[in-house]
């Protein structure tokens, strides 16, 4: 062996050893902190002296001929720019394919019928901290004698909505009639984040993921649940994580399919390459999902994070355009359902949208934003969470000390190995490499996600 290559080898070993020690030191500092619960008022004006109305009111999604006529008029007046030749989805949403979607939306999509689909589950609203909070609450259609359902809070993200959970709910509330074991039967609560869909938007600055977690905790208490399971992806994963940091004694278990874990040294170990994967606990599957590093970590993040910079700084500006144009809104939202479902869909003329979703389902999600006029308030959630500096809030530095499960979908924007997850969530008891699927897991692979939730609850309850 040449002296130069021997020296490089020893240098790599030394670097790996130092990095390993630093990681061990950080991992060993395992303080069980909780976030302060605090309180707030997010409605307009000053907080009233009278107590808040805590009633839970039934709610129905409604529409009108006027609403539909206005939508059709705006679609008909669309002004598009022709795409570049052979650009597919590499420049964003391809306007040639957008014409097909607009034709379907204008001539075949039946919003009144989709409103009936939305009202298939019971909707409610209740006032919490000055805001009308919307949620659906789905109980099992039937229960075996002597059984009680397990309460499960499921939280969506952006640019999704509570509607993402419509296809997974039957697997959780009525598993036996949908091919799953009835060992675990849930009643499912899916709220809308304030400022999304039918939940009222804050009138004040500062409503972030921690505040949302507190509001949803108060919602669960109001529904009579002292202990419950929580599940989320995207913003939902952070909100559920914050809930576990706020009230760990009330969260029986936390299931997430995305995790923001950047405040540790594990990502730096990737630069040492494949030879040291065993030293840092990486599996061969991790290597497949993380390498080539330049493409999977850097180029991918650069390509897909432009929207985040806009929404974390000046969300209201782009919001003006999107809230005024249903066509622009659809392109902006549906582009995410293409590339976040599978990055390779950028190479397709139609963005692969109809490979995993129906146009009815995709447009129903868009219509929830359009008819409520909530795209701007939904985007402000980025500024409230990231406007003070990336990962500046205390909760990013805190660990989570409730039993946790992580479902690693292979086409998620950034793969998170088990070692990284366990750093943030020391009580990780289930980590699953999912066979397929991307960012919108409940929407795309409802049965697969439901099975993983049930597996986690089974492991936890047998402990």
Q: Active-site residue numbers?
A: 234, 382, 439
Largest CA distance in the chain: 81
Task: List, as one string, the DSSP characters of 75-144.
Answer: HHT---PPPPTT-TTTTSS-HHHHHHHHHHHHHT--HHHHHHHHTTS-EEEEEETTEEEEEEEE--S---
Contact 259, 232 (CB under 8 A): no
Nearest to 201 by CA among 81, 27, 44, 88: 44
- Helices 111-118 and 65-76 sit at what angle, rounded to 10 degrees? 130
CA–CA distance, 17 with 90 (Å, rounded to integer): 41
Token duo for residue 244: 């576990």
Cis check: omega of the bond before 292, within 30 degrees of 0: yes
Angle at 110 between CA 105 and CA 112, to 5 degrees: 135
Token duo for residue 165: 């959970």
Distances (CA, A) of 444 to 54, 138, 181: 35, 20, 21
Return the H-helix or E-strand segment holding 382. Answer: helix 375-386
Residues 6+ apart with CB under 8 A from 288: none
Q: What are phi and psi of 409, to 5 degrees?
A: -85, 135
Return the H-helix or E-strand segment holding 191. Answer: strand 186-191
Give SS3 for 406. strand
Alpha helices (H) along 133-264: 169-173, 209-222, 235-246
- Helices 315-324 and 306-313 sit at what angle, rounded to 10 degrees? 110
Task: List, as one string, the DSSP characters of 256-291.
Answer: ES-----SSSHHHHGGG-GGGTTTTT--HHHHHHH-
Q: What are phi and psi of 279, to 5 degrees?
A: -60, -35
CA–CA distance, 199 with 409 (Å, rounded to integer): 29
Angle at 355 between CA 354 and CA 361, to 5 degrees: 45
């Amino acid at each position: 062996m040449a002296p130069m290559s021997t020296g490089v080898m020893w240098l790599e070993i030394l670097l790996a050893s130092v990095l390993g020690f630093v990681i061990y030191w950080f991992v060993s500092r395992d303080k069980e902190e909780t976030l302060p619960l605090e309180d707030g008022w997010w409605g307009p004006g000053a907080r009233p002296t009278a107590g808040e109305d805590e009633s839970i009111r039934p709610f129905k999604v409604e529409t009108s001929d006027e609403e539909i006529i206005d939508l059709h008029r705006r679609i008909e007046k669309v002004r598009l720019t022709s795409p570049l030749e052979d650009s597919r989805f590499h420049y964003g949403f391809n306007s040639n394919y957008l014409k097909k979607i607009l034709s379907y939306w204008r001539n075949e999509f039946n919003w009144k019928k989709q409103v009936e689909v939305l009202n298939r589950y019971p909707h409610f609203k209740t006032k919490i901290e000055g805001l009308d909070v919307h949620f659906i609450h789905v109980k099992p259609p039937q229960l075996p004698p002597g059984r009680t359902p397990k309460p499960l809070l499921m939280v969506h993200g952006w640019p999704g909505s509570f509607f993402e959970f419509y296809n997974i709910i039957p697997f959780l509330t009525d598993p036996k009639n949908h091919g799953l074991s009835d060992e675990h039967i849930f009643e499912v609560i899916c709220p809308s984040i304030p400022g999304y869909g039918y939940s009222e938007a804050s009138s004040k600055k500062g409503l972030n993921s921690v505040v949302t977690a507190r509001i949803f905790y108060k919602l669960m208490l109001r529904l009579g649940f002292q202990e419950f399971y929580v599940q989320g992806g995207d913003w939902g994963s952070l909100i559920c994580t914050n809930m576990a940091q706020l009230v760990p004694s009330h969260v029986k278990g936390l299931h997430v399919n995305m995790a923001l874990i950047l405040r540790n040294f594990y990502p730096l170990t990737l630069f040492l390459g494949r030879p040291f994967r065993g030293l840092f606990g990486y599996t061969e599957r991790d290597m497949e999902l993380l390498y080539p590093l330049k493409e999977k970590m850097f180029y991918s993040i650069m390509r897909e994070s432009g929207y985040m910079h806009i929404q974390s700084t000046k969300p209201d500006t782009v919001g003006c355009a999107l809230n005024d144009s249903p066509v622009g809104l659809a392109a902006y939202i549906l582009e995410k359902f293409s590339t976040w479902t599978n990055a390779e869909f950028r190479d397709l003329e139609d963005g692969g949208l109809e490979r995993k979703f129906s146009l009815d389902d995709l447009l129903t999600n868009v219509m929830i934003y359009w008819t409520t006029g909530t795209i701007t308030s939904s985007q402000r959630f980025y500024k409230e969470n990231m406007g003070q500096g990336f990962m500046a809030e205390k909760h990013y530095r805190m660990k989570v000390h409730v039993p946790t499960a992580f479902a690693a979908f292979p086409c998620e924007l950034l793969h998170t190995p088990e070692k990284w997850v366990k750093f943030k969530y020391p009580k990780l008891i289930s980590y699953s490499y999912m066979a397929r699927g991307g960012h919108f897991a409940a929407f795309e692979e409802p049965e697969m996600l439901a099975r993983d939730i049930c597996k986690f609850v089974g492991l936890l309850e047998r402990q």
